[in-house]
Each structure stands twice: as structure tokens, then as C-alpha cells.
Amino acid sequence: MDVIPGAGIKRVLTALALTIAIAVADWWTLSRPASAVLYVIPVLLVARGTQREAGLWMAGLASGLSLLDLFRTTGHPPMWAKMAELVPVVLALWAAAILAPPRRQEESDRPAVAPDIEEVVLRRTKDLAQANRDLETLRAEAVSLLAALVKSSDDAIIGMSLEGTVRSWNAGAERVYGYAPHEIVGLPITDLCPQDRLEEVPAMLSRIAKGEHVRNVETMQRRKRGRRFHVSLTVSPVKDADGTVVAASAIARDITQRKRIEAALRDSEARFHMMADTAPVMVWMSDPDQGCTFFNKRWLEFTGRTLEEEIGSGWFRGIHAQDQPRCRDTYQEAVRQQQPFTMEYRLRRADGAYRWIVDTGVPRFEPDGTLSGYIGSCIDLTERKEMEDELRKTLKEKESLLREVHHRVKNNLQVISSLLNLQMATIKDPQVAQLFKECQVRISSIALLHDTLHRSNDLSRINMPEYLRTLTGHVCRSYGVDPTHLILELAVEDIAFDVDTGLTCGLIVDELLSNCLKHAFPNGRSGRITVELRAEEGEWFLLRVSDDGVGLPHDGVLNNPDSLGLELVSLMADKLEGTVSLQSGMGTEWYVRFRPVRYEERM
């Protein structure tokens, strides 16, 4: 058992003395078990000490003394009744001994807890004091910032009483109105109002006195020298700590420049509407959301609808149903790329008839480059399309007629070629027969050109690669050329000539190629012939016909008056304003430099 401290011994001895006194009194008195309940006092006295075992020991002693009453000699009340009376007393004694230690522990811990509580209180007090200092600093900074804002603001910030007397005047107010603070503070605010605006001040102050706000009121005010100008006023009530309105604060912003810009915009818009309404075309405008915001008078007269019916997407219902998807896609793609567009569609007129319209729109941009919408104009091109259809029909008829002419010319030339062929069969003289054959080849060359045009999609121009390929093949077949002995090479660029130039160039190739086949390869000699046509600088072209045959005497060929073929080459070159040159040696090379026939020469 732990040693009992001095204070604990005194408590135990006191409890023992008290217990003995209670036992003596209980023995000699008849008030049982009421006197036995008094044992709880010494038990609690010991139990509230620092030793748990002492409390339990005292509860056991008190329980024993209480149970001695069961052995007293008196017969009344019976034993079982005495037991019933003493059991609650014994339970109370032990409960006091057991339950007392928590209270004792709390009391023992109280001296240790008290310093912690004091430390927390002190710390919290310091924190609250620091928070108050921080709040005071923030309030001072806020007041300083507010004062700086008021001082540096470009707007006029004016403090005044509920009667309208000026109490404060910032630098912005001095710039706006021209008054220095000492010139205006203490004077009525009505000194800043023109004579025809004096009634506005009492109405505003009346609302302020009721706690209401007056926001963004546009009015006229007066500068120091009496000049009127536009301002936007916001007046707010100033309240004290109790919420009572004690003054008013006004913020005035000079909006003179804005009013001038608005007036200029209105004037510009009015001029635009006047010009748009008097324009001979239909004019419209749209916003970035693809909704139309304006249609001129010409458009409304054409559709027979009101502006309210057309704005937004209402105008779209007037487009022919078959054209709507195409128009929508065209417009949306233009908006996506922010590019101009042109489209044709059918628009319903006021009489219900659909008319063809060409619609041209261009984007509009804000100063920062943002798309603000489109502006466009529409022209009725129904008559033009009808004329185009008529011209297209006429042109198609003329093309058919011209194609038929080419076909018939080709057939007639083939008839002539066939007649020449029949005539050659009756000619005995070889030279005469050769002349007939050359004429037949020339006629066939012309017929081939008309046949090429007849099969071509373009009746006005001849495709030279195709034409020369067919022409040279026909000439070689006419002279019975064996392709295993003579090789023909074509180097023709993708060139298209008009009919006159193409025919003239074809005749030159026919003559020069025929000359090569007749003279360059005698006695079945093999070789190579090249036909080249290429474009040069400007509008000039070069035709070259060469072979690697026996060659020709230069002067004997060009100055031979009996050579009809070479004379035709010179004539054809003159027609093309061209020149002919010859290089001969190991073979021959003919060069014809020319340019296409000009139309004025055909007159």
C-alpha cells in the first residue's frame, strides 16, 4: 500500500473518529437504518483523499458496523426485514467509495489544467488584439486608397448635404466643371445646373433622402464660364452607423464626346439609309450571327414584305426551296472564312413570280478586326439569264451548223480526192500521175483538218498535236512508207491554233514531209524524219521538218521555179508573216518561223 500523505492521514483519522461516534450513536438509538446512513460521511471524507484503497477500506469498515445491527437481541422487526433495510445503505457506502475517485482526479488535475487555460486565454487575447490592429491597418489602407481614388479619378466626385450644399470637391470635379474647391464648397449644387434644369436637383435629393439611388441619369450641366455640356450622373445616399441617411455623394462623368460620336453615328446612319433607299439595287446588312438587320426600300418593294417580316431569317423564306441549301452553305462558308461571296438564287417577287438574283456580300469589321457582319447588294438578272439562255441556244445551233459544214466540206474534199484517184488510174505519164497524187495529198490534208474540227469540242481552234499526228500518218500511208525503214518522230507542244493558222501550218508540213519522202531516201534507203512545233518568245512559233537522208543542194532547191511544193511553202509562210530557212548536208532541216494569222488580215 502506498504511503499516505500527511493531509491524507488527518482525513483518515477524522473519518475514523466520526465512524466511531456514529457507531456508538447507532447502537444506543432506535432510529435504524437512518443512523446507519451517516456512515456515508466518513466514507466520502476518505474517498475524496488521494488514496483509493483508504476509501474502499473505510467503506468496508462502515459496512461491517452497519451489519452488526442484524445480531441485536430484539425480535422486532424480523431478520429478513432488517436485511432489506441495510442492503441499500451498504450499496450507498460502496457507491460513494467507488464514485468519489473521478471527482478526486478532477480536483487533482485542476491545478495543472488552470495554467493551460490561462495560456490559451492569453494567446487568444493577443490574437484578437493583433486582429484588431490588422483590421485597423486595413481600414486605414482602405480609407487611404479610397481617398487616392477619389483624388485621382477623372470623374467628378462631389459630396453634398441633403439640402444640396457642396461639402467636398475632388480634382476630377475641378477638371470637369472648372471650379477650384474654395470656389464651390459651401455653395448650392444648383449653381452647376442650367436654368432649365434646376428642378432636377430637388427631385434627386428627395429620392436620396428616402435611401434610394439615382444611377446613370444623363442630363445637362454648366461649367464655370457658363458653357453647357452633357454629363452622366450617379447619386448615392451616405448613411451613418445607424443606417440613417445623412448626406449624398454624386459622381458626374463628362459624356460630351460620346454624345458627339452618337450624333455623328446617327447622322451617318441616316445618310446611309437615304443612299440605300435611293440606290437602284437591293441592299441588305447582317450581324455576326447571320441574321439580317436591314433591307432597303428597293428590297421591300421587290418582295412586297415589311422590314419586320424580313429581318432576322425571315427573308430566307422568300428564296426558292431548291436554292436554299446552296445559299445557306455559301453564306456560312463565307462567314467562317470572313471572305466576300457571290451567289445566284431565285427570290420570290411581290407578285409571286421567282426572279433570278445575283447577291454579292462583303464582310464588315470592327476596329479591332472582329467581324461585325456583312453588307451586300442584289441585282435582278432574270432578263440577262434569259438572254444568255437564248444566246447559248443560238450558239449551240450555230455550232451544230458549223460542225455540219465541216463534215460536208470534209466529205466533198474526199469526193474530190476519190475523183483524182480515179483519174490517176487513166494517166499513163508517170510525172502527170505524180502531180495528181500530190494534189490528192494536199486535198486530203485539208479534209483531215475539217474532220478534226468536226470531232473537236472547240470548233474555233484546232489541236495541233492531234492534227499533225493524223496528217503525217496519212501522208506516210499515201506514199507507201514502210515504218520499219523510215521512222517518223513528232515533237509537237500542246498548242491550239485558229482554223486559218492551223490549216496553213498543216499545208506547210504536208509539202515539206512529202518532199522528204520523195527525195531524201532514194532506192529504199532507211532513215528518220522529225517534225517539231514549239512556241518561242512573244507570239512566235517555230516549225522544223528534218531528215537524215541524202541532203539537197541549197540553192538548187530554193531557186527552183518548177517546184510547186516549195513555192507553196513560201506562200504559206508569207501568209503567216514567217520566214523559211534551209540547212542541208547530211540530211536536210527546214525552219519556218511564224506567228498566228491576225484577224484583221482576214478582212
486-505 tens-digit pLDDT:
889 999 999 988 878 887 88
Is residue 118 assigned to a domain?
Answer: no
Whether residues 279 and 400 share a domain: the answer is no
* Residue 343, helix vs strand vs coil: strand
The predicted structure's pLDDT at residue 566: 73
The predicted structure's pLDDT at residue 268: 84
Half-sphere exposure (Cβ direction) of 568: Cα atoms closer than 13 Å: 18
Tell me the sheet residues that pair with 591. 544, 581
Confidence band for 559, pLDDT divided at 50, 70 and 90: very low
Whether residues 175 and 244 share a domain: the answer is yes
Confidence band for 561, pLDDT divided at 50, 70 and 90: very low
pLDDT exceeds 80 at position 223: yes
Neighbours of 369 (CB within 10 A): 7
* Residue 11, helix vs strand vs coil: helix
The pTM score is: 0.41
Whether residues 355 and 376 share a domain: the answer is yes
Query: In which domain, by residue range, is 11 found?
Result: 6-113
Half-sphere exposure (Cβ direction) of 550: Cα atoms closer than 13 Å: 12
Rounded-to-integer distance, Cα 411 and Cα 153, Å: 98
Q: For residue 351, give the DSSP letter.
A: T
Whether residues 477 and 600 share a domain: the answer is yes
Nearest Cα neighbor of 556 from 509, 599, 519 is 519
C-beta separation of 376 from 334 below 8 A? no
Q: Which three cell numbers stand for residue 203?
A: 427631385
Domain boundary among 199, 230, 254: 254
Rounded-to-integer distance, Cα 551 and Cα 173, Å: 108
**Mean pLDDT along residues 120-126:** 78
Rounded-to-integer distance, Cα 464 and Cα 593, Å: 16
Whether residues 226 and 349 share a domain: the answer is no
pLDDT exceeds 90 at position 596: no
CATH number, position 596: 3.30.565.10
Rounded-to-integer distance, Cα 467 and Cα 504, Å: 12
C-beta separation of 557 from 566 below 8 A? yes
The predicted structure's pLDDT at residue 149: 63
Whether residues 303 and 291 share a domain: the answer is yes
Characterize 523-536 residue by residue with b for buried, 16 or more Cβ atoms within 10 angstroms of its Cβ, and e for exposed: eeeeeebbbbbeee
Q: What is the pLDDT of residues 444-473, one digit of tens each?
A: 777 766 666 656 666 677 788 888 888 888
Half-sphere exposure (Cβ direction) of 174: Cα atoms closer than 13 Å: 12
Rounded-to-integer distance, Cα 377 and Cα 49, Å: 109
Is residue 565 assigned to a domain?
Answer: yes
C-beta separation of 371 from 335 below 8 A? yes
Whether residues 454 and 491 share a domain: the answer is no
Whether residues 481 and 597 share a domain: the answer is yes
Q: What is the pLDDT of residues 129-163, one digit of tens each?
A: 888 888 887 777 766 665 666 666 778 899 999 99
Whether residues 486 and 590 share a domain: the answer is yes
The predicted structure's pLDDT at residue 1: 42
Q: What is the pLDDT of residues 204-216, one digit of tens each?
A: 999 999 999 999 9
Is residue 539 assigned to a domain?
Answer: yes
The arrangement of strands across the sheet holding 341-348 comes to: 292-295, 282-286, 371-380, 354-365, 341-348
More confident residue, 403 or 530: 530
pLDDT exceeds 60 at position 545: yes
Characterize 125-141 residue by residue with b for buried, 16 or more Cβ atoms within 10 angstroms of its Cβ, and e for exposed: eeeeeeeeeeeeeeeee
φ/ψ of residue 113, rounded to 5: -75, -35
Domain boundary among 64, 85, 113: 113
The predicted structure's pLDDT at residue 161: 92
The predicted structure's pLDDT at residue 119: 78
**What's the sign of the alpha-carbon dihedral 517, 521, 526, 529?**
negative
> Which range is least confidently modeled, 163-177, 301-315, 418-432, 558-572?
558-572
Whether residues 97 and 192 share a domain: the answer is no
Rounded-to-integer distance, Cα 86 and Cα 312, Å: 103
Rounded-to-integer distance, Cα 381 and Cα 385, Å: 6
Query: 160: part of which helix (H) or strand (E)?
Result: strand 156-160
| Relative orientation angle of helices 430-455 and 499-519, to the nearest 10 degrees | 140
Report the share of the chain in percent with pLDDT over 70: 71
| Relative orientation angle of helices 464-478 and 499-519, to the nearest 10 degrees | 30
Rounded-to-integer distance, Cα 345 and Cα 318, Å: 10
Whether residues 374 and 403 share a domain: the answer is no
Whether residues 67 and 93 share a domain: the answer is yes
More confident residue, 574 or 25: 574
The predicted structure's pLDDT at residue 320: 94
Confidence band for 123, pLDDT divided at 50, 70 and 90: confident
More confident residue, 8 or 571: 571
Residues 6 or more apart whose Cβ sits within 8 Å of residue 219: 197, 200, 230, 231, 233
pLDDT exceeds 90 at position 341: yes
φ/ψ of residue 553, rounded to 5: -65, 130
Q: Assign 3-class secondary structure to 254-297.
A: ECHHHHHHHHHHHHHHHHHHHHHHHCCCEEEEECCCCCEEEECH
pLDDT exceeds 60 at position 563: no
Pairing of strands 579-585, 587-594: antiparallel
Domain boundary among 227, 254, 281: 254
Q: Assign 3-class secondary structure to 392-433.
A: HHHHHHHHHHHHHHHHHHHHHHHHHHHHHHHHHCCCCCHHHH
The predicted structure's pLDDT at residue 601: 43
Total number of domains constituting the chain: 5
CATH number, position 324: 3.30.450.20
